[in-house]
Amino acid sequence: MSNNNTRENFGSKIGAILAAAGSAVGLGNIWRFPIETGQNGGAAFILIYIGCVILLGIPIMMSEFLIGRHTQANTAGAYRKLAPGTPWRWVGRLGVLSGFVILSYYSVVAGWTAEYTILAIGNAFEGKTTADFPAIFTEFVSNPWKSVFWMLAFMIITHVIVTRGVKSGIEKFSKLMMPVLFVILIILAICSVALPGASQGLEFLLKPDFSKITGSAILSAMGQAFFSLSLGLGCLCTYASYFNQETNIGKTALSVSLIDTFVAIMSGFIIFPAVFNAGYTLDSSDIGPSLLFITMPNVFGQAFGSIPALAYIVSVLFYFLLVLAALTSTISMHEVVTAYVSEEFAMSRRKAATLVTLSCSIVGVVCALSFGPFEGVKIFGMTIFDFFDYTASNFMLPIGGMLIAIFTGWYLDKKIVRDEITNNGTLRAPYLPLIIFILKYIAPIAIACILLGQIGIF
């Protein structure tokens, strides 16, 4: 760990917040959140989701931040420094492994968003009917070369930005792209809410029906909260290792969680009114991983079809929004693994990033092919892609999050916690005892109950 003195920092507070928000805001918000909400009953699911964000998300995010900033190390190095010679270093390693797995399958969907942006720019959706879109999508994902090509393209762009470093790569890109993302998001939400028939979609988002909530919906809400907030694998811990000493950890965690939840709910406002307007129902296969790629292009055509120019602009903006959101997230996952490889194996950043890009690309190819040639390969009845997504977000992340909570709540010296949260006593943090109480008792017990409940032990 001799490279501590050469470690980079984010240049500004807003840069740090936007980079962390860039990590959090991603396909999880715009692709996964509407699917999960659609499949788990709408407004009631959203309320449980928000509960998970407040009760588990914010305290665990603060833990990741303080561990990262205190140690100024990659996530595995952080536990090694704070708890030398103990098995706690496996929490960091589990995180690096989860980052690797998620980046591999995430890049596949990210690749689809790039292909669809190009299709939208080329006006490929005009004049197509409801029946054409599933065929376009199936043809695309099952064509091994196209999916693999776009997955690799995405991986390479991520690689280039990560190689440029923390300040001139990650921070610069996030500061430029996050505002663009917000503007696009608001424009799209306004267009969608103004559609005739939007009220049905709004009702679905705003009127809770708790009879739809099952144990598996609660597990999904928790998994979604971890996934969307980038928690449980040391991603934000790694980013926090680039925070400077002035960064207010509590405020940053609150801002990132608010931004992330806002984007998720806005995505709901974009997608559901448009979906209902186009006459889809939610109990069908319209709401699944292909939602954004089969349902949405058709929705744009139908909803804005009377003004073709508007339909065109809306679809280009929508897919471009997805590309931006995905990219700031792939960068953050790549960074977790790159920082680990570079610091723990004393390698240059460039070399480490290359190794990460190559190995993730190989696993990514397997995930991409699980929609085509490898479709028949099933693990516990799921395709390779689904298996990775299900295990990573519903198990690896919550288990990682639970261990992080236990580490901060029970193991870590409370002086370190207090000093980091209050910036060595210069900030007031009256909420600190509450956060510690949550980390000690509530988060571990809640996560354990939800996980055990799902495995069938309760």
* Contact footprint for ligand TRP (CB under 6 A): 23-24, 26-29, 102, 227-228, 230, 232-233, 235, 329, 332-333, 397
Shortest CB 224 distance to ligand TRP, Å: 9
The minimum distance between CB 17 and ligand TRP, in angstroms, equals: 15
Minimum Å gap between C-beta 184 and ligand TRP is 16
Task: Give the Cα separation of 51 and 58 in Å (integer).
Answer: 10
- Pick the closer one to ligand TRP by CB: 24 or 120: 24
Got the DSSP string for 291-315?
IIIIIHHHHHHHHSTTSHHHHHHHH
Nearer to ligand TRP, 23 or 277 (CB): 23
- C-beta closer to ligand TRP: residue 260 or 420: 260
Half-sphere exposure of 37 (CA within 13 A, CB side): 32
Alpha-helical runs (H) found in 241-306: 249-277, 296-303
Q: Give the nearest distance from C-beta 131 to ligand TRP in angstroms.
A: 31
Tell me how far, at minimum, the Cβ of 407 lies from ligand TRP, in Å: 17
Nearest CA to 20 out of 321, 337, 238 is that of 238
Residue 330 beta carbon to ligand TRP: minimum distance, rounded to whole angstroms: 8
- Whose Cβ is closer to ligand TRP: residue 255's or residue 332's? 332
- Write down the residue that tokens 């500004």 correspond to: 12
Query: With the C-alpha atoms ordered 41, 44, 47, 51, is the resulting torsion angle positive or negative?
Result: negative
Closer by beta carbon to ligand TRP, 396 or else 421: 396
First and final CA of the chain: distance in angstroms? 44
Q: Judged by CB, which is closer to ligand TRP: 198, or 237?
A: 237
**Who's near 360: CB < 8 A, 6+ residues apart?**
100, 103, 104, 107, 155, 334, 337
Structure tokens at 181: 């993302």
